[in-house]
Amino acid sequence: MTYCLGIHVRQGVLLAADSRTNAGVDYISRYRKLFDFSVPGDRALMLCTSGNLSITQAVMHTLDRDLVTDSEVNLYALPTMYDIARYIGTCIRNLQEIDRPWLQKDKIDFQCSFLLGGQVKGEAPQLYQIYSQGNCIRSTPETPFLQIGETKYGKPILDRTLTYESSIEDVAKYALLSIDSTMRSNLSVGPPINLIMYHTDSFQIGHKARFIAGDPYLLKMRKHWEVALREAAASMPEIEWNSSALPDGPDLSDISEP
């Protein structure tokens, strides 16, 4: 399992991912899940992967091969972000069609999913989630983030802090907090954490970061967040206990022994 996060706000797009891959309690390894396919001046393309590692690596190999061989359909030839998302979905379907029978035979999960974020010249920035079936959905101002992998522990922070008008700098902090909270609650998610930030209409990636275990900033952020949560909880108004609002329990005094 892994945790990948994409956020699209007015100022830009940010993608973040951990690097842990879990194939059982005794086989945990690290693989990069966040990739940059940008062409400065023309398009910013960021991609996150989650799910069956052999399938996702095969998809990435196909995307690279189509670029190297200058295939008629590739990441740089397609004119829109939606076209790119559908192209990646087709790659997923084609590879699963080949491998699915053999994976199913040994009861191996073949599901995978991708996040695609960025901007192609002539369009506004966009963020897509591409499903294992090859179809996709797009983020909206009302739902400015998309998650894949181990999503549940990192979602509450985003629900409570993030809006489409949030600054891209704040978005980076929210993303790190979301991933760190997930790592705290689920051992299948772990460092290094990779982040890529893209500013709207810049058509180049200006900020990248990688945080390993024990990174000073991560430790500082974690301590600050935990202290702030404790202080916020302790300073909340006292509970107004109102036992009369609760219904009385059943009167057992009249129940005779059988």
Cα 2 to Cα 21, 48, 186, 193: the distances in Å are 6, 10, 10, 11
Residue 81 to residue 139: CA distance in whole angstroms: 12
Task: Give the per-residue pLDDT at 40.
Answer: 96
Residue 202 to residue 80: CA distance in whole angstroms: 17
Residue 256 phi, psi (nearest 5): -90, 160
- pLDDT tens digits for 118-167? 999 999 999 999 999 999 999 999 999 999 988 888 999 999 999 999 99
Other Cβ atoms within 10 Å of 128 Cβ, number? 24
Beta strands in the chain (DSSP E): 3-9, 12-17, 20-22, 28-30, 34-36, 43-51, 112-120, 126-130, 136-138, 145-149, 193-199, 207-211
**Taking 90 as the threshold, does the pLDDT of residue 20 lie above it?**
no
Task: Give the per-residue pLDDT at 186.
Answer: 78
**Taking 70 as the threshold, does the pLDDT of residue 255 lie above it?**
no
Task: Say whether pTM exceeds 0.85.
Answer: yes
HSE-up (13 A, CA, CB side) for residue 178 = 35
Residue 180 to residue 149: CA distance in whole angstroms: 14
HSE-up (13 A, CA, CB side) for residue 87 = 21
- pLDDT tens digits for 156-213? 999 999 999 999 999 999 999 999 888 888 777 888 999 999 999 999 998 999 999 8
